Structure 1
């Protein structure tokens, strides 16, 4: 299997050994060896069904497939990078935060809930499932991993949310008032609440 290694905090180095990864389009900054690049398609490399779901939900992801033998370096907008190894579990992530995904992992689209009972607007998220490494992006500094336990649920600004994993139940909290105190009172104020057991990754800078 390919090897993921951070070169500093903003560059990911991937060693390909005759296998493949999928990366955010335009994220390759250098490579050496016999490596081929091609678009992973609208479904992100997971077939026509994934492409249809992404078009219907608006949860788009633009990936390219990098395959062969060699070393590839990836970066995007000088953002911080974190590498996560999945072991048969599922990660829920904002599609724009994906940098590189091992080809052994499967991406899909999942219903994330309603943005408030009053609006009834459906929101969707990208899921990554299987065993293998992936790399996520974080704006404004290194990502922060926050533990969630049954005794301590977590409420997160959706603009800072990057990803979550574990046995977590995600709901929307619409009765928040803190946004008015920081000049973010326009529109419907809502936050993400996580209950259960797991980890939520957030970034220091809002999207």
Structure 2
């Protein structure tokens, strides 16, 4: 995949690129990057690793996760050199946000620029049905982030004329002016006790894009 721009506007953004489709390469020049704890697989140069208590989301967001036992374990890498990240041989996609807001399943976030602000978003029945928990993670601002998925990440457009229904187990994230609704699909297989596997669906309406993976959790 192509290297994300190192500069968005006038602010400096850490360099993210995929070395392979399963290995993220982050180049630091006296900079910092946040990543899921345990995701570092190699590095060169002078890099310091330490636990990040808040992970960029503030005390309130961290407390909400703590109460529901859904805390993200985040580490900070700082210094000058190159750090390589990976997670369970998952596919990695690099995204650049330019003042946008992305809502993503916490388990799908691999690493992100310290210039990005993270928070929590109530996932409700979608998270409960997929086992992902009650809260999703929001990421917004200017900077790069890396997303992991089982198989290539797929982007599907949502428009007012074309709403989208997604299996909660395949859902990864979304951005744009999108509304969410949890729906039940009661079909003949469900009625006779043979679940189709699609009984629980998540409906997206509005304008934006939804990211899914070609596999279920």
Q: TM-score, normalised by structure 2?
A: 0.83
Equivalent pair of 1:113/1:171 in contact (CA under 8 Å): no
Aligned to 2:134, the other structure's residue is in SS state strand
Q: What is the total number of aligned residue pairs between the two structures? A: 198
In the other structure, the counterpart of 2:22 is 10
| Aligned 8 A contact 1:45 1:63 in 2 | no
Work out the CA distance in 1 between the residues paired with 2:194 and 2:135: 23
Which one is further off, 58-67 or 141-150?
58-67
Q: 1:68 to 1:104 in 2, by over 3 A?
A: same
Sort the Cα spacing of 1:152 and 1:27 in 2 relative to 1 into closer, same or farther, 3 A: same
Contact 2:108–2:147 at 8 Å: present in 1 too?
A: yes
* Residue 174 (structure 2) aligns with: 164
Q: CA 1:176–1:24 in 2, change beyond 3 Å: closer, same or farther?
A: farther
1:71 aligns with 2:82: yes
1:197 is aligned to 2:202: no
1:129 aligns with 2:140: yes
TM norm structure 1? 0.87
RMSD after superposition? 2.4
Question: In the alignment, what sits opposite 1:62?
Answer: 73
Q: Unpaired runs of 5+ in structure 2?
A: 1-12, 127-132
Q: Which residue pairs with 2:7 in the alignment?
A: none
Rounded to whole Å, the distance in 1 between the matches of 2:205 and 2:196 is 27
Structure 1, unaligned runs of 5 or more? 116-121
Q: 1:155 aligns with which of 162, 165, 181?
A: 165
Equivalent position of 2:102 in the other structure: 91
After TM superposition, give the deviation of residue 64 of structure 1 in Å.
0.6
Q: Give the conservation status (yes or no) of the 8 Å contact 1:171–1:194.
A: yes
